[in-house]
Amino acid sequence: MEQYGRQCLQYRVIAMKEINYRNIQGSVSTRKQWNAGNRHKRSRNRAFRTGIIVFLLLLILILITFCVILFIRVNKQNDIRGNAVNLPPVSGNPVDAGEQPYGDESEDYTVSKEPVDKLPSEQEVLEEGHKVVYLTFDDGPSDNTEKLLDILQQYRIKATFFTVGKDGYDDVYRRIVGDGHTLGMHSYSHDYSKVYSSVEAFGRDFEKIYNHIESITGVSPTLYRFPGGSSNTVSNVPMEKFIKYLNDRNITYYDWNALSGDAEGKEFPADEMIDRVLKGVDKYDVSVVLLHDTNALDVTVEMLPELIEELRKLGADMLPITRTSSVIQHIDAGSVK
């Protein structure tokens, strides 16, 4: 009986151990499950965090892309304004001044837009067997500029204006550009004793007219006409020094090979002036005609319609100077290093 009782106790102990063992086993397996659950939860959290980071990175990327696009568009718009009509003479794509100079993005641009015909290039005109004539007007703006512009508009002709620095003519500078003409520089002061006194003085005057035109019209001018031309004899400083100054800045200067004598101080009748131009034009396939735009020279306004008609009879097409134009210079800029 006692033995049976001991045996019974042993069984109970074994049973208890068994139960304990099972409990331990149970709790182990619960911990395993709990651990597995935790791992699952952690990896879910990790995935969630990674998702958020990727989302934020994408958002930043989109914002940067947006900013870059915006920056490029603004820059492009500035370029369009900057390169409107006057064209770098040495390199880059040829653009006729008569082509629409402003992109569609420049609605806020202050220069009035004039629908402009697509102009042929100098080469195309020559290939057709026509002469090319570049009418150039120096010394403006003046009270006569608008009259000249009206006549040019009436004949649908584009020309080139080499202007000086004047206050009170902002709308005139803008109209020259807006009408599709080429706007060039002719010094700010046009005072020979100042402009040609030294390279430094020339540089100061150049900066002044450049900034004047650029700030009023938004166009960066690239063409220059020396007061008196590059072959003038009034400068005490050798002209090569000023030519080098312009060469270094990629500015092309234009002289002329035909003139009317409208500013020579003699009272030529209009007919005589027209004859002088025609004689000059007759000699060359490409002519740059020197004319003037000042308050005193009503005669230039008066003769312009007849001059245009006579030039057309001669088989000449009138164009604005662009970067594809032949360069007419009394002193070759290429000879100055």
Site residues, Zn ion (CB under 5 A): 138-139, 227
Min separation Cβ 233 and Zn ion, Å:
15
Which residue lies nearer to Zn ion by CB, 139 or 205? 139
Q: What's the closest the beta carbon of residue 323 comes to Zn ion, in angstroms?
A: 23
Decide whether 121 or 192 has the Cβ nearer to Zn ion.
192
Smallest distance, Å, CB 138 to Zn ion? Answer: 4
Residue 320 burial by Cβ neighbours in a 10 Å radius (0-12, 13-18, 19+)? buried
Please tell me the distance from the alpha carbon of residue 69 to that of residue 79, in angstroms, as a whole number: 15
Q: Please state the φ and ψ torsions of residue 203, each to the nearest 5 degrees.
A: -65, -40
What is the residue type of 107? E
Residue nearest to Zn ion (CB): 138
Q: Which is nearer to Zn ion, 109 or 145 (CB)?
A: 145
Whose Cβ is closer to Zn ion: residue 317's or residue 329's? 329
Length of the chain: 337
Q: Which two tokens stand for residue 218?
A: 């938004």
CA gap 94, 42 in Å, rounded:
65
Q: Which is nearer to Zn ion, 141 or 227 (CB)?
A: 227
Mapped onto helix, strand or coil, the DSSP state of residue 265 is coil
CB of 117 to Zn ion, least distance (A): 30
State the nearest-atom distance from the C-beta of 282 to Zn ion, in Å.
Answer: 25
Instruction: Give the nearer residue to Zn ion in terms of CB position, either 3 or 233.
Output: 233
Which letter, b or e, does each residue of 77-101 get, where b requires 16 or more Cβ atoms within 10 Å of its Cβ? beebbebbbbbbbeeeeebbbbebb
State which amino acid sits at residue 89: P
Q: How far apart are CA 259 and CA 267, in angstroms?
A: 15
Cβ at position 297, least distance to Zn ion in Å: 11
DSSP, collapsed to helix, strand or coil, labels residue 227 as coil
- Smallest CA-to-CA distance from 250 within 169, 323, 335, 176 is with 323
96/139 with CB nearer Zn ion: 139
Shortest Å, Cβ 69 to Zn ion: 46
CB contact at 8 A, 218 and 111:
yes
